[in-house]
Structure 1
Amino acid sequence: MDLTHFDEGCQRCGLCIDICPQYSDVEIIDDLINHIRDGVKSNCDITNCLTCSLCESVCPENLSLKTLIREARLKKVAVEGLTSINYLCDPDYNHNIFQSIASSDEPVLFKPRKASTVYFPGCYASYIHKIMALSMTRLMDRAGIDFAVLDGLEYCCGMNSAGTGNPNVMKKNGPKIIAKLKDIGAERIIASCPGCFIALSKMYPLMFKEMDIKVIHASQFLEELVEEGLLTPGDNAGGKVFYHDPCHLTRGVGIYQEPRKLLEKIPGTTLMNPNPEGSSCCGFGGGVRLNHPSDSIKISEQEHLRVSEEDGEYIITNCAGCRQNLIEGRPCDGAEIIDLAEYLLLSMGERVLKDDDTMIKLVNEAYARGMKAYRKPEHEC
């Protein structure tokens, strides 16, 4: 990272702090720069950053406080070594959450085959939020798409671990994933997870030059299938819908129109927020869900409050982390949380069984096994 460019370019205007949901003092910028560059002890709790990119969205110089946090996290790991939170999504860690949950609840995994279209569900959709992978593959089947699925911990993209300061999974698995995709015959990849999408479309081409396969997010792909007439939304869903913009998808890569276009094509659907203006983080990101569980869920409760004040019936998103936090922060009479692909499939008269209560229970148990200091968040229905 070019700290000189950041230091000289930043005006210390405080716009980033004004919009930041976690930090309140512009002095954090010099604090972090001095810490990263000169080793001065920092007074900033770098575990509070949601990596939501709200700071970058308002910066007149296109700088991001998140990049300073990332560098500080990498420095912390370099000095102190990796801890359980850095390993929690690492496939080689004995208590990684995905393998831990798989011991109690069978994951959704597909047999390998060759195809030019490859669906990449990501670990969260394969092992925890299985409704996402099941709904997406059913829709692809109904659209007549010939596709393969690349899944399993062996092909974890490493994005979740990298976000905590552990880049090792990405470095190790990246070349293996690219080689497997080429062996399958992939010409395009459909990714459900926003993190996987960023890893495959943005980070891998920079890190591994041989990554030259087109990557499409699932929401873009579904909107395209409907537009082409390969899928026809039905009238079995509908209601007053709030679309929750995942941070990595909206501010991270600028995908916010396609999910809304898709929702607007589903009969009976009234979209409460036709643009991403005012969208905020669910509270899951940046490791905040693990480091500060109760604070993380309180953030998601704020979105439920906003939706309930406008009599919303459903919150629809297309990110496993967002889905999880919004489920955990849901009041007893709150809006139902539905995945985007699930909602489209519901409109067509097909329902995939899910048990979100059991899923949340298993997730919290897996977190506790992987992190001794973890405490289940406080939330009353």
Structure 2
Amino acid sequence: MIYFRGCTAREKETSIADATEELLKLAGVEYRVLDDEKCCGSVLLRTGFIEEAQEQIQKNTEILSGELILTSCAGCYKTLKQDYNDLDVIHISQFLSQLIDENKLNFHKKDLNVTYHDSCHLGRHCNIFDEPRNVISKLANLIEMENNHENSLCCGAGGGVKSAYPEIASQMADSRISQAIGTDADLLVTPCPFCKLNLKDRGLDVLDLTEFLVKYGGE
């Protein structure tokens, strides 16, 4: 299995890639990372650079073909799953749910209230709603926001909005955090590194799903 870390988890100021690898090692999963990992091409595709994106896709396909590919980025998952041909891809939320069901990862439930933000890429675009909730519910009490599942609000970061219209991205993030705070949850968990970066530092602790498990799973 190849752990495809993704640009945001790999290069930004997060502990997502480290947390993912810590959980994989805890579960005894054999995997490898790419020393010279390239972008999946998502940004190129979403911003109209189709020819450049196809070149990137071809290069990655030659490396990834025939492997099970694990991603911790919702955007990478959507791109590798839907824009590439015949790749075997699984998101970390799906894989963690499997590991828990197989008793390869075990957590003691805490008196902790958590709300969950469905990222657009993983939720509406790929119809993955249950697995991350199953994982959270093994460790904490899940409290849903007013808008959830297919009706979840966008964090404001996707589609190039954060880069082109930062004020709009900030307003959208504030709106989503307001809903999260309204649940009286102790923290917000998301499966998308980009969502985490846009939602953090707005009055509520925001963690990636893997960071959440590492931080609270051992207590």
Residues 86-122 of structure 1, C-alpha deviations (whole Å, 9 max, x = no match): xxxxxxxxxxxxxxxxxxxxxxxxxxxxxxx111111
Residues 44-87 of structure 1, C-alpha deviations (whole Å, 9 max, x = no match): xxxxxxxxxxxxxxxxxxxxxxxxxxxxxxxxxxxxxxxxxxxx
Does 2:172 match 1:289? no
Whether the 8 Å CA contact 2:23–2:214 is kept in 1: the answer is yes
In 1, distance between residues paired with 2:199 and 2:64?
A: 33
Give 1:175's aligned amino acid: Q
**Structure 1 segments of 4 or more deviating over 6 A?**
none
Q: Pick from 14, 23, 38: which aligns with 1:139?
A: 23
Q: Pick from 13, 17, 32: which aligns with 1:148?
A: 32
Does 2:218 match 1:349? yes
Q: Cα offset for 1:225? A: 0.6
Whether the 8 Å CA contact 2:124–2:150 is kept in 1: the answer is no
Whether the 8 Å CA contact 1:284–1:322 is kept in 2: the answer is yes
Does 2:184 match 1:311? yes
Whether the 8 Å CA contact 1:284–1:296 is kept in 2: the answer is yes
Q: Cα offset for 1:167? A: 2.3
Whether the 8 Å CA contact 1:129–1:320 is kept in 2: the answer is no
Whether the 8 Å CA contact 2:19–2:211 is kept in 1: the answer is yes
Q: What does residue 159 of structure 1 align with?
A: 42
Assess, with a 3 A threshold, how the Cα gap between structure 1 residues 129 and 233 changes in structure 2: closer, same or farther: farther
For structure 1, which runs of at least 5 residues remain unmatched after alignment? 1-116, 206-211, 351-381
Q: What does residue 302 of structure 1 align with?
A: 175
Residues 161-208 of structure 1, C-alpha deviations (whole Å, 9 max, x = no match): 2211122442122222122224xxx53111111121122111111xxx
Give 1:265's aligned amino acid: K
Whether the 8 Å CA contact 1:163–1:287 is kept in 2: the answer is yes
Aligned 1:49-64 pairs, distance under 5 A = none
Q: Per the alignment, in what secondary structure is the counterpart of residue 248 of structure 1? A: coil
Give 1:271's aligned amino acid: L
Give 1:164's aligned amino acid: T
Does 2:72 match 1:198? no
Does 2:121 match 1:248? yes
Q: Per the alignment, in what secondary structure is the counterpart of residue 247 of structure 1? A: coil
Aligned 1:260-339 pairs, distance under 5 A = 260-266=133-139, 269-273=140-144, 276=149, 278-328=151-201, 330=202, 334-339=203-208
Assess, with a 3 A threshold, how the Cα gap between structure 1 residues 282 and 126 changes in structure 2: closer, same or farther: same
In 2, distance between residues paired with 1:238 and 1:346?
A: 14
Q: Cα offset for 1:326? A: 0.3
Q: How many residues align?
A: 217
Assess, with a 3 A threshold, how the Cα gap between structure 1 residues 190 and 321 changes in structure 2: closer, same or farther: same
Moved more, 193-202 or 223-232: 193-202
Give 1:346's aligned amino acid: K
In 1, distance between residues paired with 2:164 and 2:91?
A: 29
In 1, distance between residues paired with 2:76 and 2:150?
A: 24
Q: Which has the higher contact order (CA 8 A, sep 6+)?
A: 2
Assess, with a 3 A threshold, how the Cα gap between structure 1 residues 168 and 271 changes in structure 2: closer, same or farther: same
Q: Cα offset for 1:129? A: 4.6
In 2, distance between residues paired with 1:213 and 1:170?
A: 16
For structure 2, which runs of at least 5 residues remain unmatched after alignment? none
Q: Pick from 80, 94, 108: which aligns with 1:220?
A: 94
Give 1:230's aligned amino acid: K
Give 1:337's aligned amino acid: V
RMSD across aligned C-alpha pairs, in angstroms?
1.9
In 2, distance between residues paired with 1:181 and 1:203?
A: 14
TM-score by length of 1: 0.54
Q: Please say which structure displays the higher CA radius of gyration.
A: 1
In 2, distance between residues paired with 1:307 and 1:160?
A: 28
